Chains A and B, each alone.
Chain A
Amino acid sequence: MELATAPARGRWKLWLTTLLVFAVTGAAIFAPILRKRMERAAQLQQQSEEQARRELIQPVPMNPSDPRVKAELFWLSDADSSMLAPVVVELPLSSDPVLRSKQVLNTLLAGPVDVELRTLPPDAVLLAFYILADGTAIADFSEALATSIPSGIQSEQLAVDSMTHTLEANVPQVKRLKILIHGQEVETLAGHVDLTETFAVNADAGPSPATGPAAGKTGAFLVQPLTLSFSPVKLTGR
């Protein structure tokens, strides 16, 4: 009996060892793949909320039936990139102040033809825009506005100024601007410029009961207009 069972035990040991080797090899191959899939799943889950908001809030299309007006958009001056300069663009703009604000801000986000003159990151998205009864506008941007903008006092202030000057020039109903990131109030845009307060848009903007006193208007970065007229259909650089 013992002579008969010894080879059987040896075979079982061989089978067990073989299975163990297969299991270890399989784990070594599939564990990294599984980990990558889990990481990707987590990433997708993180993006899904913002994606859902983007799908719900589609960019406001230009309505060709709206009257074409000469809108002033503020990007960096090609003569001095530390300042803003207005560019006149003929656009079909809605008479509704909220839609009109969305249209000009989306055009501002799209940027000028010369990408070096843009003030806002190309991947930033305007998620929502409201105007309160007291003239305070609330603009909610995707996180890219904060994460993709070049860090620094100058670049952050120019980004804010490009928005306030553009709204001032095209939407007189907006008195002050509050900027949110992904629906939340944040302390700074990218470490420097204060986003806890509102920014003055029109000169007569007074204190806002909703968000506190309007932050002072900077305006130190504005150069005299050096505008060129744009084709009605094509946005061209200066």
Chain B
Amino acid sequence: MLLDVGDSRRLRFLAIGGIGSLVVGGAAMAFALETSPQTQQGPGAGTLSPASVATAGQGGTPAPAGPAPGPPTAPRALNVVVLDPAHGGTDPGARGTGGIQESEITLEFATRARQALEQQGFQVVETRQGNENPSFDDRSAIANAQRGAVFITLHIASTGIPGTVRVYVNADLPPVKAANGLIPWDLAQAPFLGLSRKLGDLVQGMLTQHFKGSPDAAQTAAIRQLRTTAAPAIAVEVSSVVVNDRAELDHMVPGVADAIARGVAAFKPLYAMALPSGALP
């Protein structure tokens, strides 16, 4: 249920998996809370709670909270992949020769990646399936509403060696001081950086097998889309829209999809192992 309370603030009430989460997305901030009756702990104490990003108004004042937050009652397995074809709508993204637009190509990559991931047994959620342009926060909110999910945003660069693919994880973020289990929306990625790095390295490794000349490990960048995502999150950037023939990009689609699916499948046991260890997020 989504209750709009104005242009700058939105009140969202989510009920996911039996856990009630009150989400008031301010213009800049939100904090996490969960309604578990267990002892209150921060998000660094073994909870992967992407659906639990909750509330504060502008200026960071926490909104009235519900019951004390706590860890989930049972570990979750990785079963959802949120695919984000970047750009769309009025934002075509990078534009190349012959009218190639990043926003169109990313949809093709997402469609094929979805098939490959579903064959691996994952449930796939896409942030867009047509020529729309959801905001960064709306795309993150789709991922943050999932349980046991990873987030992959797909991009086509306008630079780089054609035929190569790079994976990025978000640059280091300040440690989250999760008082009362509340995580600032703008730092939602912070507790997941370790997992994101593992996922990124695995997917990059698979991609490099397909596309020679690609890096051996994931790189870091201050990516706006990833910062507000409360899940292991990576960006996959294909080079490039500047090709003589669009077929050069089309030939890369199956390889990218296969590498993403195999990378996520290889990451699945690491995700499950991380939960009981208390090390994450």
Residues of A within 8 A of B (CB): 81-82, 150-157, 160, 187-188, 191-194, 196-197, 199, 207, 212-221
Dominant SS at the B interface? mixed
**Contact across chains for A218 and B158 when beta carbons are under 8 A apart:** no
**Contact across chains for B223 and A152 when beta carbons are under 8 A apart:** no
Beyond the given A188-B224, A213-B187, A214-B174, please list 20 additional residue pairs across the A-B interface where CB-CB is below 8 A.
A81-B159, A151-B94, A151-B95, A152-B157, A152-B160, A153-B157, A153-B237, A155-B157, A160-B222, A187-B136, A191-B86, A193-B224, A194-B223, A212-B186, A213-B173, A213-B174, A215-B222, A216-B222, A218-B219, A221-B219
Q: Tell me, in angstroms, the Cα distance from A151 to B158 when the chains sit together.
A: 6
Contact with A along B224-268 (1 / 0, CB 8 A): 110100000001010010000000000000000000000000000
Q: If the complex has contacts A151-B102, A153-B237, A154-B160, are A197 and B91 also in contact, measured as CB distance less than 8 A?
A: no
Contact with A along B169-203 (1 / 0, CB 8 A): 01111100000000000110000000000000000
Q: Tell me, in angstroms, the Cα distance from A150 to B227 when the chains sit together.
A: 22
**Contact across chains for B159 and A194 when beta carbons are under 8 A apart:** no
Residues of A within 8 A of B225 (CB): 192
Q: Tell me, in angstroms, the Cα distance from A8 to B115 when the chains sit together.
A: 85
Dominant SS at the A interface? loop
Residues of B within 8 A of A188 (CB): 224
**Contact across chains for A155 and B159 when beta carbons are under 8 A apart:** yes
Residues of B within 8 A of A196 (CB): 186, 224
Residues of B within 8 A of A160 (CB): 222
Which partner residue on chain B sits nearest A207 by CB separation?
B174
Q: Tell me, in angstroms, the Cα distance from A151 to B91 when the chains sit together.
A: 11
What class of interface size applies to chain B in its complex with A? 35 or more
Most buried by B among A154, A188, A207: A154
Residues of B within 8 A of A216 (CB): 170-173, 220, 222
**Contact across chains for A154 and B91 when beta carbons are under 8 A apart:** no
Min distance, Cβ A201 to any Cβ of chain B, angstroms: 13
**Contact across chains for A82 and B224 when beta carbons are under 8 A apart:** no
Q: If the complex has contacts A153-B235, A187-B136, are A220 and B220 also in contact, measured as CB distance less than 8 A?
A: yes
**Contact across chains for B221 and A218 when beta carbons are under 8 A apart:** yes
Which partner residue on chain B sits nearest A213 by CB separation?
B174
Q: If the complex has contacts A151-B93, A213-B174, A216-B172, are A157 and B221 also in contact, measured as CB distance less than 8 A?
A: yes
Which partner residue on chain B sits nearest A152 by CB separation?
B157
Residues of A within 8 A of B161 (CB): 82
- Can you pick out 16 interface pairs between chain A and chain B where the beta carbons lie within 8 Å of each other? A82-B166, A150-B94, A150-B159, A153-B223, A154-B160, A154-B166, A156-B221, A191-B91, A192-B224, A193-B223, A194-B222, A194-B223, A196-B224, A207-B174, A213-B174, A213-B187
Residues of A within 8 A of B91 (CB): 191
